[in-house]
A and B are shown apart, each in its own frame.
Chain A
Amino acid sequence: MTEIYKAKTDKKFKLPLYEYPVSAGFPSPAEDYVDKKLDLNEYIIKHPAATFFVRVKGNSMQDSGISDGDLIVVDRAIEQRDNSIVVAFLDGEFTIKRVKTKKGELYLMPENSDYEPIKVNKEMDFQVWGVVTYAIKEIK
């Protein structure tokens, strides 16, 4: 006759959490989680092939934390949503603004009370170049 046992749940063991995605059933033996170094690239860059760095000049976005001289991380793979901060190309110039749709109209919003929102008309040459994901600033 088969014996049926109840699980012993009185003792707990801590098991290491694998840092890397594990495909069903077979973890990668080559990854040694104990010696893993923290890589800033992994933290910041989700889509390496689609990620670019740009430098900011000017302060029209300062209220969002993007300041003059900052290094901006732009991800072209991310879908922009309402209120995303994007790098856009408008009528021959690059800019960084927050996109906002109001009553079916698209606006590029600055983050500085000294600047006015820009309404994007159909006649304008406009494209979203990528979504801003991080601003890296040096603390002096």
Chain B
Amino acid sequence: MNKVYALVDCNNFYVSCERVFNPKLAHVPVMVLSNNDGCVVARSNEVKALGVKMGEPVFKVEGLINKHNIQVFSSNYTLYADMSKRVMDTLKKFSPDIEIYSIDEAFLSLAGLGLNDYSNYGHNIRETVKKWTGIPVSVGIAGTKVLTKSANEIAKKYNGVVDLINCSDKQIDSYLDLLDVSDVWGVGHQYSKLLRSNNINTAKDLKYADTKWVRKKMTVMGERCVFELRGISCFELDKYPEPKKGICSSKSFGMPVESKRDLEEAISSYVSRAAEKLRSQNSYANILIVYITTNRFKKYDPQYSNSAYIRLREPTSSTIDLTRSALSSLNKIYKSGYKYKKAGVLLEGIQTNKQIQLNLFSSYDRKKKKQDNLLMKTIDMINKRWGRDCVKLAAQGIKQTWNMKRSRLSKKYTTNWNELLEICV
């Protein structure tokens, strides 16, 4: 059977979350900053049009903010994590086979659903997610995952849904020619330089590149990307290469897993792997997602799948902290009596924070870690008593930066009874 995948991606996700609870922001420039960095982590289309780049330090764009009255928010990861779950739960209604790729992207398998008009289904998905959650999404539909990513990039710029299944090869090529090679899923920054220096500038160029050369320079994964651009499916829904945003670690089990103990062990090992990747790129995560699911193909077995989102107290790359959070999440969603087929963890809200003193948080030196833990406990106790950031690292910034003067955190509208939307009637 031919494969059909849809990549559903939220448009400017963090900004869109803010707009749901404050519709006044709908057509004005909006920007979201990372909590500690003071860097731009999300931009509305109006802000993108002003030339503001992703990750730009906020002091550099202060002029633009004032001139264009850009509305600025601090990252409200608690809200974004909850809204993400709502979007994903809505998407699950459109296909039993879904792969949550990042906080705002998911792949759906549309094969075997008896559909003949994929574009129409894509529009249905788009309208339903917008109605139910308020989040606008773009949908790219194609026979391979890499192509759906390309279709999705184009969908963002046009009417929101692009279906390559019903396109001619010529039309697909003309779409691929519009895409920069660095936007091809699996390519990324490191390889795009190499490709450009070899005159491969667009996704179309990459599609027609010599696969032997690509295999040599970009490993077999790169070669598979080329095959996928050509319509040959290599990546299944539950196997995926290093995601561009977010770090994922998961596995389908050979034999079904039933006990909580076994799941805990599996999850712990995934956390450890993911945390290593995080540290190797000098990054920290703000959100941890744990998910477990039974085998949907075993129709006669009871079905259960669930995911838990945790907003981490602090950006962290510590295996110990992450494992603790992951296991407590697992505790909340685990149900006995089910044969689990797959489990995984996803690290999101990734930031590279130059302000945190790395050696204080690194877990490589055991002796230091013990001291660190004690120090952390003391700091935590003081902050709990006297208020957040009462005691903090000097590196976090004593000087009154622009960021601290005007940083705005919206309310936790969906997770805190004291912070609900208040409506005057």
The reply to whether chain A is a binding partner of chain B is yes
Chain A residues close to B by CB (< 8 Å): 26, 28-30, 47-50, 52-61, 66, 71-72, 76-77, 87, 89, 92-97, 110, 127, 129
**B424 contacts A58, C-beta separation under 8 Å:** yes
Known contacts A47-B132, A49-B133; is-contact A55 B90 (Cβ 8 Å)? no
**A95 contacts B423, C-beta separation under 8 Å:** yes
Chain B residues close to A by CB (< 8 Å): 23-24, 85-87, 89-90, 131-134, 300, 302, 304, 335, 337-338, 413-414, 417, 420-425
Q: In this complex, which of A54, A60, A87, A110 has the most chain B Cβ atoms within 10 angstroms of its Cβ?
A: A54
List, in ascending order, chain A residues with CB within 8 A of B420's CB.
53-55, 71
**Can you name 15 A-B residue pairings with CB atoms under 8 Å?**
A48-B89, A49-B132, A50-B86, A50-B131, A53-B414, A55-B422, A57-B422, A59-B425, A61-B425, A76-B133, A77-B131, A89-B23, A94-B23, A94-B423, A95-B423
B92 to chain A, nearest CB (A): 9
Q: Give the distance in Å from the alpha carbon of A127 to the alpha carbon of B22 in the complex.
A: 12
List, in ascending order, chain B residues with CB within 8 A of A30's CB.
302, 304, 335, 337-338
Known contacts A47-B132, A77-B131; is-contact A52 B425 (Cβ 8 Å)? no
List, in ascending order, chain A residues with CB within 8 A of B89's CB.
48-49
Q: In this complex, which of A26, A57, A72, A94 has the most chain B Cβ atoms within 10 angstroms of its Cβ?
A: A94
For the complex of A and B, the 5 pairs showing the least CB-CB separation, nearest first, are A50-B132, A49-B89, A49-B86, A58-B425, A30-B302
A37 to chain B, nearest CB (A): 14
**A50 contacts B421, C-beta separation under 8 Å:** no
Q: In this complex, which of B85, B87, B90, B132 has the most chain A Cβ atoms within 10 angstroms of its Cβ?
A: B132
Indicate which residue in A29, A59, A87 contacts B302 across the interface (CB closer than 8 Å): A29
Q: Give the distance in Å from the alpha carbon of A57 to the alpha carbon of B425 in the complex.
A: 6
Known contacts A55-B422, A92-B24; is-contact A50 B133 (Cβ 8 Å)? yes
- Using a Cβ cutoff of 8 Å, how many contacts connect chains A and B? 76
Indicate which residue in B90, B133, B337, B423 contacts A56 across the interface (CB closer than 8 Å): B423
**A95 contacts B425, C-beta separation under 8 Å:** yes
**B423 contacts A49, C-beta separation under 8 Å:** no
Q: Give the distance in Å from the alpha carbon of A30 to the alpha carbon of B131 in the complex.
A: 33
Q: Give the distance in Å from the alpha carbon of A105 to the alpha carbon of B197 in the complex.
A: 62
**B421 contacts A94, C-beta separation under 8 Å:** yes
Q: Give the distance in Å from the alpha carbon of A69 to the alpha carbon of B73 in the complex.
A: 28
> Which of chain B's residues has its CB closest to A66's CB?
B425
Q: Give the distance in Å from the alpha carbon of A50 to the alpha carbon of B89 in the complex.
A: 10
List, in ascending order, chain A residues with CB within 8 A of B87's CB.
49
A138 to chain B, nearest CB (A): 13
Indicate which residue in A47, A54, A97 contacts B422 across the interface (CB closer than 8 Å): A54
A110 to chain B, nearest CB (A): 8
Q: Give the distance in Å from the alpha carbon of A94 to the alpha carbon of B73 in the complex.
A: 20
Q: Give the distance in Å from the alpha carbon of A50 to the alpha carbon of B130 in the complex.
A: 10
A84 to chain B, nearest CB (A): 15
Q: Give the distance in Å from the alpha carbon of A92 to the alpha carbon of B27 in the complex.
A: 12
Q: In this complex, which of B23, B87, B89, B423 has the most chain A Cβ atoms within 10 angstroms of its Cβ?
A: B423
Q: Give the distance in Å from the alpha carbon of A94 to the alpha carbon of B181 in the complex.
A: 44
> Which of chain A's residues has its CB closest to B419's CB?
A55
**B23 contacts A127, C-beta separation under 8 Å:** yes
**B132 contacts A52, C-beta separation under 8 Å:** no
Q: Give the distance in Å from the alpha carbon of A71 to the alpha carbon of B418 in the complex.
A: 11
Beyond A29-B302, A96-B423, 12 additional contacts (C-beta under 8 Å) are A28-B302, A30-B302, A47-B132, A49-B85, A49-B89, A50-B133, A52-B414, A54-B423, A56-B425, A57-B423, A71-B420, A95-B423
**B425 contacts A50, C-beta separation under 8 Å:** no
List, in ascending order, chain B residues with CB within 8 A of A52's CB.
413-414, 421
List, in ascending order, chain A residues with CB within 8 A of B422's CB.
54-57
